[in-house]
Each structure stands twice: as structure tokens, then as C-alpha cells.
Amino acid sequence: MHSRTFAVAALVALTTSLAFTQERLDPPASGPEPLRRGPAVARQDSRTGEDGRINDRIRQDEAIRSQVMRTLHYLTDVYGPRLTGSPNHKAAAEWAVKQMTGWGMVNGHLEPWDFGHPGWVNERLSVHVTSPIKDALAVEAVAWTPGTNGTVTAKAFQMVLPEGPLPEPARAPEAAPNPNAPAARGPQRLGPTQAELDAYLALVKDKVRGAAVMVGRSVSVPVNLTPLAGRLTDEQARCRFDPNMVNAPECEGLGRGRGGFGGGRGQQPADGRLTTRQIDQQIDAFLVANGAALRINDAGRAHGQIIAFNNRTYDVAKAVPTVVIRNEDYGRLSRIMADGTAVEIEASIVNMTYPEGQTSYNAIAEIAGSDLKDEVVMAGGHLDSWHTATGATDNAIGCAIMMEAARILKSLGVNPRRTIRIALWSGEEEGLLGSQAYVKAHFGSAEAPKPEFAKLNGYLNIDTGTGRIRGASVFGPPEAARVLAEILAPFKDLKVYGATATTSRATGGTDSTSFHSAGLPGIGFTQDTIEYNSHTHHTNLDTYERVIETDVRDAAVVVAAVLFQLANRDAMLPRFSTADMPAPPPQRGGGF
């Protein structure tokens, strides 16, 4: 280490120590002291010149003044869950705009878009087995289903639906295992034909009236004896993102640029066979028509994890009160009933709908630009969540990181050339609806561009949980990835290794693909997966406690640096020309 660098490092360490001491005496004016502290991230950037100095200042500010966990606390503990259309979501969006405005950002506002469905909130939920045993059951309500209108007691009846044969073996090579997938359930049979389902429903029609109907067999979830690591190794991250490792022999088989998002086609029906969604819709209609008291679904996941999505019609009149019960409870009740013993269920569910939720909102705030203020660099994540937990890793922490990056830049008093715009979306969980509405309104598409289309210099997105950033993927030519890799190069000490380019305009998975779909440079960060898909993604375990503070503080440093560089470069991020623009894929449906 050069003597001058050593002296600066010593001064930074002293300054940081004094700042922490003072901050304990004088909490930030904007609110209480952050709830938790990790190690300071005031590491020295090895580069010289203005770029190196701004990166050092960004690191120092995050080490001394971090607000990212405080922001996470408000978005989760105070305003979670944040289902699209719910009062909670709107309150969270209003708080975020107020907070960013308090940090000195401008043009803070809620931008409306048409959700088209009422808001929904579960206010109270209690389900017990009362005979032949007495026990509380771990359940979550399915969104946009009705309540029970008081406490109901009902005999349980299990519908064991007809199944089709096992599907034909796939011809494509087997995909690489998902390191965060829950334990495999084994081969899944095809659905029944319409005639087979109709015959079964006619057979059980008289048994569902007034019953608590358990739909389907108990799912066997095997014990996972070989869980995979939650972090990429440095070798894996370099092979995926480091531009110098493209042809490295040691990277053979490790892939490049994986971890991005693109839409698949979803479940496709075999000839004459019903899909899971088709069966589910028909079961809902059947239970409503025949007066079932309650529908109970098996969560089908280990260790009490529950994912409870929504009634896809968004019409509470088209479903009976519906809960998802943890796999362990569903299996217990199913085995008792298999003995020939009657089971009695007691349920009390209070669900509310809000007509005003048909209009939802994206939360927007900016750091004003200067000589290139008409050009914009955006960063964001989806603020909405599912309703079974407080939506910490999906995706309050992504929003908190983006807000924190902007707070750092305002704290440093930087004067960016381009405008920096933070956008916190709603409707992501229902199908990227908020970001798609925003892109359509502001930018159009490559085929039908609006004036702002040419002014966007990238949209940065985080939406895969708490893990540290390991690299990025950008929609654009290889030159765009090289620019990003150069910006990220000073952060190899934070285990960030570069960027790759994608040509896919398919939507799916996260909001950066709304920009890809329009032909705009969406930038998605790939993170260490930690427990995301294995434990927290969409589940009842997605809470504040599952966030790793040191990782997200480092992520805020990286995002702030990327925002600063993209806002101040002379040239815009390279894009596809009109002639080279990839064609958009066929339109498809689907949720996320």
C-alpha cells in the first residue's frame, strides 16, 4: 500500500469511529437510529482520480449514516404486508415518497395506474381442528377470497381428484438444479380429462355441502439431505460475469449470465388433459355452487412454509373462504381421515375488500440533473408483496437498497448531469403490471417510441432477496455489458465480478423485463440466493429477520456508484440500433 493511501485509510478509520460515537449520541434527524449495524463498509477504492474518490465517499457515507435497515423496518414491520390495491400498500408508497422528499429528493409523487380490481386485506384468521383432536392449524388465507361471516364449524371432506398418466419424458437435456428450490416431490402426473373430472364431481356433489373441503391428496415432501449453498463461490461468480473469463477453460460448464429473468410459457395442456389452473377454477365454481363452507389446500412445502397466492378472478363471489394449510397439518388430517375417523374443523376468517384499490400507484422521486437533466437514469424494485408475511426479501429490501443509494448521493451533495429517478412499483406480483403501465405511458416501445424512449440511460433493478450483488445483466449489445463491467470493477472486494448482456425481450420474473420488453436497457442485479427460493420467496417466512445487513449495505454502495457513473458519463449506455433490435416475443399471459 502506498504511504498516501495508508494515511487516507487511517483518517477514514478515525473519522468512521468518531462518527459512530457521535451518532449514538445524536440519532439522525429523519428518525430513530437504525435498528442494527453491520461492519462498516468504508473500504478504500484502489483507483485514483474523481471516480475513485466518489466511490470512497459513497462507501464512507454508508458506513457512517446508513438508513437501509431503518427503511426496511418501516416498509415491513410498519406497513407490511403490501398487497397491490390494499391500504397498506398505498400507505407504504406514501411513506416512501415522504422519506425520499425528506432526504432532499424532488418531484416525489404517487403515479396512478389502473389495477382494475378491488383491494383486499385479511384482518383475522383462526382455523382449528376440534375433533377427534384439538389443535390450532397453521394456515394462510388465499387473497381475494371471502371471509366466513363469523365462526363456522364443519366436517372435513377430502376430495381426491382423478389424475392422468405420467408425462412423456422430456427430450431436452435435464436443466441444472436450482440451488434454492424446495425438495422435489417426484414425477407429477398429468391432469384428468374434462369427462373424468365431471364424473368425479358428480360423484361427490352431495358430500361438499357445508363441509370443510380438503382439495387433493396430501403432498409427500421428502427430506432434503443435500441442500445446496446459498452463496456463489468466487469462481462461479467470475465465470458468470467477468468479461475476462468468457473463454477460460476453468469456466467450462459454469455458464455465463445465468440468473436473469425471462418468461417461459407456463404449464401447457397435454392433448385432452386439463391444466392445474383449469382444474382449480372448476373446483372453485363447484364448491360455490354446492355450498361448501371452506376450502383447504395443502401448502406442499417443508418446515411449515406456506405460499398462498390469490383467487385469479379477483371476485370474492367466485370462491368460498379458502386457506392454505401447512403440509404437516394437511398430512396429519389426511391420515386420520384415512383411518375412517371423522374430522371436524372450526374456522373464523375476516377478509375485507376496498373498491378504491382498483387504482394502484407507483412511488416516484428524483435527484434533479443538470446539463443533461432531460436524460434519466432509473432504479427501482417492486414495493408490493404477497400477504402471508411482511415481504422483506420480496421485495422491501430491494426498494430499501434503491432508496438508500439515492440517499447516499443526496447526502454527498453530488450534482448529477442526468436526472436520477427512483421508482417503486406495485402490481409486480400480479404480473409486472405497475412497471408495464409506467413503461407504456412514458416510453412506449422500440416499435412505437415516445419522446422519453431515447432519453432513458438505463433502469437498475433488485428483486432477489438479501444476498450480496455478484454481477449484473443488461438488455443491450455486448458494449453495454462492458461499460457496466468497468463501472463495477472497483467493487471486486465486495465480490462483484462484472456484467453480461441479454437480447431477450420476454417479460417474466421481475420489473427489469418490462423495460427489456420495450427494447430499453433494463439492468438486473444477480445476488447470492441465500434462502430466497428455498425459504422466503412468497412464503409466510419472508420477514425482516431474514435480511443480512452487511450484504444489503454493500449492495447500496454498489447501486449508488452505478447510478452516479451512468448519470455522469459523457455517452449514454450503448443500445441496440433499430436494425439490430431483437424482435419482441409473442404475447402471453402469466403471473409472477
What is the C-alpha separation between 287 and 275, in angstroms, rounded? 18
Q: Which three cell numbers stand for residue 58?
A: 459513497
Rounded Cα distance, 192 and 186, in Å? 18
Which stretch of DSSP H or E encloses residue 21?
Answer: helix 3-25
pLDDT at 247: 80
Across 568-585, b (16+ Cβ under 10 Å) vs e yields bbeebbbbbeeeeeeebe
The answer as to whether 182 is a domain residue is no
The pLDDT of residue 178? 46
Q: What is the pLDDT of residue 255?
A: 63
Distance from C-alpha of 543 to C-alpha of 265, rounded to nearest angstrom: 31
Using CA atoms, how far apart are residues 420 and 369, in angstroms rounded to an integer? 7
User: Are residues 15 and 153 both part of a single domain?
Assistant: no
Phi, psi of 15 (to 5 degrees): -60, -45
Is position 416 within any domain?
Answer: no
Last residue of a domain, one of 15, 42, 60: 60
In terms of domains, do 10 and 138 share one? no
**Helix and strand totals (H; E) in the chain:** 13, 16
Residue 277, all three cell numbers:
389452473
- The range of the structural domain enclosing residue 6 comes to 1-60
Domain shared by 120 and 56, yes or no: no
CATH label of the domain that carries residue 338: 3.50.30.30
Could you tell me which of 563, 586, 302 has the C-alpha nearest to residue 457? 563
With CA atoms as reference, report the closest residue to 96 among 113, 84, 81, 108. Answer: 108
Is 158 a member of any domain? yes
Residues 455 and 555 in one domain: yes
In a domain, 272, yes or no: yes
Backbone angles phi, psi at 542, to 5 degrees: -85, 80
What is the separation, in whole angstroms, between the first and last Cα of the chain?
48
Domain boundary among 19, 43, 60: 60
* Any domain includes 345: yes
Buried b (16+ CB within 10 A) or exposed e, 81-101: bbbbbbbbbbebbebbbebbe
Count of structural domains within the chain: 2
- 207 lies in the same domain as 315: yes
pLDDT on residue 586:
82
Is there a single domain that holds both residue 156 and residue 305? Answer: yes
Task: Please indicate, yes or no, whether residues 124 and 50 belong to a single structural domain of this protein.
Answer: no
Same domain, 201 and 348: yes
The shares of helix, strand and coil residues in the chain, as percent rounded to the nearest 5, are 35, 20, 45
Q: Count other Cβ atoms within 10 Å, centred on residue 266.
A: 13
Whether 138 is covered by a domain: the verdict is yes
Same domain for 150 and 53: no
The residue out of 60, 85, 107 marking a domain boundary is 60
346 belongs to a structural domain: yes
Q: Residues with Cβ < 8 Å from 281, sequence gap 6 or more?
A: 312, 313
- How far is the C-alpha of 58 from the C-alpha of 188, rounded, in Å? 50
DSSP code string of 470-523: EEEEEES-HHHHHHHHHHHGGGGGGT---EEEE-----BSBTHHHHHHHT--EE
Residues 137 and 56 in one domain: no
Separation of alpha carbons 171 and 346, rounded Å: 48
pLDDT at residue number 245: 86
Residues 513, 520: Cα–Cα separation, whole Å = 9
- Residue 162 CB coordination number (10 Å): 16
pLDDT of residue 252: 81
194, HSE (Cβ side, Cα atoms, 13 Å): 6
192 and 273 within one domain: yes
Q: What pLDDT score was predicted for residue 48?
A: 44
DSSP string, 48-104: -HHHHHHHHHHHHHHHHH--HHHHHHIIIIIT----TTSHHHHHHHHHHHHHHHHTT
What 3-state DSSP class applies to 152?
A: strand
**CA–CA dist 99, 387 (Å, integer):** 24
Give the number of other Cβ atoms within 10 Å of residue 268's Cβ.
Answer: 8
The whole-number mean pLDDT for each consecutive block of 10 residues of the chain, a chain of 592 residues, reads 39 38 36 40 50 91 98 98 98 98 98 98 98 98 98 98 83 43 63 97 98 97 92 94 86 60 50 93 98 98 98 98 98 98 98 98 98 98 98 98 98 98 98 98 98 98 98 98 98 98 96 98 98 96 98 98 98 97 77 42
Do 213 and 348 belong together in one domain? yes
Give the number of residues written for the chain: 592
Closest CA to 81 of 545, 552, 539, 592: 539
pTM, to two decimals: 0.89
Residues 45 and 56: beta-carbon distance below 8 Å: yes
pLDDT at residue 248, as a whole number: 87
Q: Rounded to whole angstroms, how far apart are CA atoms 83 and 407? A: 26
Residue 212 lies in a domain: yes
